[in-house]
Amino acid sequence: MKYLPPKRRGSRLAAGLALTAAASLAFAACGGGDTGGAGSEGSVAADEEIAVTLITKTSTNPFFISMQKGAEEAGKANNVSITTAAGKEDGDEATQIQAIEAAQARGDAGILITPATDGVNPAIQTARDNGLYVIALDTPPNPPDVVDITFATDNFKAGELIGKWAADQMNGQKAVIAMLDLFNDKVATVDYNRDQGFLTGMGIDVADKTKNGDEAKTGKYTGGKGGDYQIVCNEPTQGAQDGGKTAMETCLAKSKDINLVYSINEPSGGGGAEALNAAGVKALIVSVDGGCDPGLKLVKDGTIGATSQQYPVKMAQLGVEAIAKFKRSGEKPEVTPGLDFYDTGVALVTDKKVEGVESISVAEGEKLCWGK
């Protein structure tokens, strides 16, 4: 049976879809990518336990902690043993590569991975050549066919939603923008997709959608009522609170007129808020992730104005189920039509609704919180 998800009808529908259990995913024998290993399809008996390794970017970010819990719950339901591994920090390619190699040495059936950067691609390909079914979660690799399939948020759309919302909040005034990105020395799709999506939502022309920081630093934004804009900085945060604070301090050294802050995730946005408060500067902060803590707590108390919520538990559950089905029956999941990955949904969370930008309240977001 071929999976044909419904057409998108806005963020509220996406949030509803995030509650769908992993078992709702349909599979097709002809879909998905191809593994290099011979005889890996349907090679495990129905009652045999399957070994899968989940490799996340870090073990401390609440987003990845939720993902681990989702994988472990799905493992119990699908007779899959889960081994977890993680980088020491965001962007730690070496530790992720070691974990990929360890999974092969153990004879695991598959790997679920949130790729640190494109630097792990060769190790992923080697694992697939050796018969492991490899699924990316949250961060689609470049190129997409490095893995068998990706289960992820549409990160460009996530950025676009907060950009549209922020443009409306500017109410025609000049937007003096600080961009708190993930890296400045590595390339990750989640980094440039969120950054470039935000700018597109603001109505700012981007040059290369796969590159941060090459757009014009001044000009006009067309979102909301429209107005002038200035991009003061693109600073790396490593997705961490202390990184966000340091990045914001660097931006403030360039301009105290900053009134709008894009942040790659809520920990970096929270760190940015600390620096703003210390400098006595008021600015609107928007972000992406949407976890209960710290994410929605920061939206609820007004530190962050709006965030795009994604669903890591669902990503992990679908990933575990997909490997189990492939190894037991040869069935493969399919990507969402029109995309090169399976879209697990996104919803804008804010208590300040904007006409024409669909959103859910913080209270509604708390009920969903990463697909708990």
Query: What's the distance, CA 323 to chain centroid?
Result: 21
User: What mean pLDDT do residues 280-307 have?
Assistant: 96
State yes or no: pLDDT of 64 exceeds 90: yes
State yes or no: pLDDT of 219 exceeds 70: yes
DSSP class per residue in 284-329: EEEEEE--IIIIIHHHHTTSSSEEEE--HHHHHHHHHHHHHHHHHH
* Predicted local distance difference test score (pLDDT) of residue 19: 35
> Taking the domain 19-153+311-344, which CATH number applies?
3.40.50.2300
pLDDT band at residue 234 under the 50/70/90 scheme: very high
User: What mean pLDDT do residues 279-285 have?
Assistant: 98
Element (H, E) at 363: helix 362-368
Q: In this structure, which amino acid lies at residue 305?
A: G
Q: Quick one: which of 175, 94, 80, 91 has its CA closest to 135? A: 80
**Whether the Cβ atoms of residue 363 and residue 297 lie closer than 8 Å to each other:** no
Q: What does pLDDT average to over the chain?
A: 89
Bridge partners of 285, per DSSP, are 261
Q: Where are the beta strands (DSSP E) in 14-159?
A: 27-28, 50-56, 80-86, 110-113, 133-137, 149-152
State yes or no: pLDDT of 7 exceeds 50: no
* Predicted local distance difference test score (pLDDT) of residue 46: 81
pLDDT band at residue 170 under the 50/70/90 scheme: very high
Cα-based distances in Å from 324 to 102, 134, 142, 260 = 20, 12, 25, 45
State yes or no: pLDDT of 127 exceeds 70: yes
* Predicted local distance difference test score (pLDDT) of residue 14: 38
Q: Give the C-alpha separation, 310 to 140, whole Å.
A: 14
The pTM is what? 0.83
List phi, psi (to 5°) of 240: -120, 155
* Predicted local distance difference test score (pLDDT) of residue 43: 73
pLDDT band at residue 261 under the 50/70/90 scheme: very high
Bridge partners of 136, per DSSP, are 113, 150
State yes or no: pLDDT of 18 exceeds 80: no
Cα-based distances in Å from 151 to 32, 34, 135, 229, 319 = 11, 16, 7, 35, 7
192: left (phi over 0), alpha (psi -120 to 50) or beta: alpha
Q: Give the C-alpha separation, 44 to 40, whole Å.
A: 8
* Predicted local distance difference test score (pLDDT) of residue 77: 97
pLDDT band at residue 40 under the 50/70/90 scheme: low
Q: Give the C-alpha separation, 96 to 115, whole Å.
A: 8
Q: What is the pLDDT of residues 93-114, one digit of tens each?
A: 999 999 999 999 999 999 999 9
User: What mean pLDDT do residues 152-180 have?
Assistant: 98
Q: What is the pLDDT of residues 317-336, one digit of tens each?
A: 999 999 999 999 999 999 99
From 3.40.50.2300, 3.40.350.10, 2.130.10.10, 3.40.190.10, which CATH number describes the 155-309+354-367 domain?
Answer: 3.40.50.2300
State yes or no: pLDDT of 36 exceeds 80: no
Tokens of residue 169, six digits: 């909040």
* Predicted local distance difference test score (pLDDT) of residue 372: 60
pLDDT band at residue 131 under the 50/70/90 scheme: very high
Element (H, E) at 354: none
Length of the chain: 372
State yes or no: pLDDT of 284 exceeds 60: yes
CATH 3.40.50.2300 range(s) for the chain read: 19-153+311-344, 155-309+354-367
